[in-house]
Homo-oligomer: A and B are copies of this chain.
């Protein structure tokens, strides 16, 4: 089964990253050697208890062997790929944090968001040109930009691909 195979290969990856032999992990976790062998081969649908014993021995969260979280939405546009890292709702506003990459050679325009929306960008690498469509600013590695997003705004990479953290905050 496909799910079992995905879990199996992730399990094997984690084990090898830690330079553990299959036998060693079996001993550490208290899981049978044969069980682990077949799990890694994707020939078993593990029980939660078994998975928990293994991930605990691997000092990993249980989620490390489950697929990428489908709730972690990804948005792809002309020049920007974004993956949602976190989303909070508080009484006043909704805050979303994205890990984004801006590709060179293209400009992405975004229409106005709800009134009061603000965006912050912290650049990790590359140089970005972002902000209000009428007055974009540049931000290099380690720098920050901030603009109102309730008017049309743009994202572009000036030099090299840009890795950055984008925070969007809009009234509830």
Task: List residues of A whose CB falls within 8 A of some B CB.
Answer: 1, 3-4, 7, 45-52, 60-64, 66-67, 69-71, 85-86, 88, 90, 92-93, 95, 97, 99, 118, 120, 122, 124-125, 142-144, 146, 163, 165, 167, 169
Contacts and interface: CB of A to CB of B under 8 A. Distances in A.
A63 B61 CA distance: 11
23 contacts: A1-B49, A3-B48, A3-B49, A7-B48, A45-B49, A46-B47, A47-B47, A47-B48, A61-B70, A61-B71, A62-B66, A63-B66, A63-B69, A86-B86, A86-B97, A90-B124, A90-B125, A92-B125, A120-B122, A122-B167, A124-B169, A142-B169, A144-B146
A13 B164 CA distance: 35
